[in-house]
Amino acid sequence: MDQKKLMDNLIIHGKEYSSRLLVGTGKYKSFTQTREAIDASGSQIITIAVRRTNIGQNADEPNLLDQLPPSDFTLLPNTAGCFTADDSIRTLRLARELLDGHNLAKLEVLGDPDTLYPNVVETIKAAKILVKEGFHLMVYTSDDPIVAKQLEDIGCVAIMPLASLIGSGMGILNPWNLEIIINNANVPVIVDAGVGTASDATIAMELGCDGVLMNTAIAASENPILMASAMKKAVEAGRNAFLAGRMKKRTTYNASSSSPINNTISKNKFA
Amino acid sequence: MIQLIINGQTQHFESTLNVAQLLERMTLNNKRIAIEYNGQIVPRSKFKEQILADGDQLEIVAAVGGG
């Protein structure tokens, strides 16, 4: 086993990360809480959104990037709130300018405001243009294996299928599709959206996902800092379980003793 | 008098100005922002060169929390 495998780092477009947990920065009570939760999560890649700035009225408003400087993290600007390829393209061009030419970004083009389900047709359209413009896209998509493969073929650097709807906390609804996506992919597969609690993150990693991206599961918990540290352990536990290779699951409901069955002091009739 | 549409809002200015002057008026100079001018990105290095004319549309954005 070479050194890289021993280290077991997540590699995205050639850059290595020791953490396989990616987190969002939305929905926290303050930037201080955001920073504390992210530190507790151990995440190295964090998502941010791009929005119209306050013009004039609130010029001294604190800036997220002061609390989360690009020197401390790999920032992943997203296109949340974009419902067309065109809007997502404009948003990421602005993000690249905002972050001094940083090309790594999260593309998400949403279908409707109720489900926030990805519009894969617009996503594919945007991805084709943005990849040509030099963006390295980590792309939010449905758990459709064919679409996932198409996005990889376009040149996206990571495929990020949903586990369930954004902010729903409903966990992994279709592990079978995720498994197909993982088995077919030659780029990292990161479950994005739907994780509700630590066990959901572990299940995703046990399936063989390369990482998990979450926001609400941490930010909307009662104690975000504690939940962030739970998620860190959950992702590590799931990854190690995946690497270890689980025992074979029985398909009939029989036990198999862990202790020797012979030489007990018992006079039971089965010995 | 010129009229600019900034982040979807109409704003009036006495005379033409460049992007750097506009940001100064809005106390947004030295802030971490990015600007789109009539659909095109204006690099920071071009803020002084880019003159704004009547009817121009600008988007001024910053980073905020998001997932």
Question: Tell me: the pLDDT tens digits for A38-51?
Answer: 999 999 999 999 99
Which residues, including other chains, have CB under 8 Å from residue A43's CB and lie 6 or more apart?
A19, A21, A22, A23, A73, A232
Position A59 scores a pLDDT of 59
Contact A49 B66 (CB under 8 A): yes
**Residue A186 binned pLDDT confidence (cut-offs 50, 70, 90):** very high
Contact A52 B27 (CB under 8 A): no
- Which positions of chain B have pLDDT values less than 70? none
Alpha-carbon span B33 to B30, nearest angstrom: 8
Position A63 scores a pLDDT of 85
pLDDT at A1 over 60: no
Position A95 scores a pLDDT of 97
pLDDT at A269 over 80: no
* Interface predicted TM-score (ipTM) of this complex, two decimals: 0.94
Which residues, including other chains, have CB under 8 Å from residue B22's CB and lie 6 or more apart?
B4, B13, B52, B58
- A27 to each of A248, A251, A271, B32, how far by Cα in Å? 41, 43, 60, 21
Neighboring chain B residues of A25 at a CB cutoff of 8 Å: 65-67
For B1-67, where are the alpha helices, taking DSSP H only? 19-25
Give me the residue from A25, A94, A214 closest to B65, CB to CB: A25
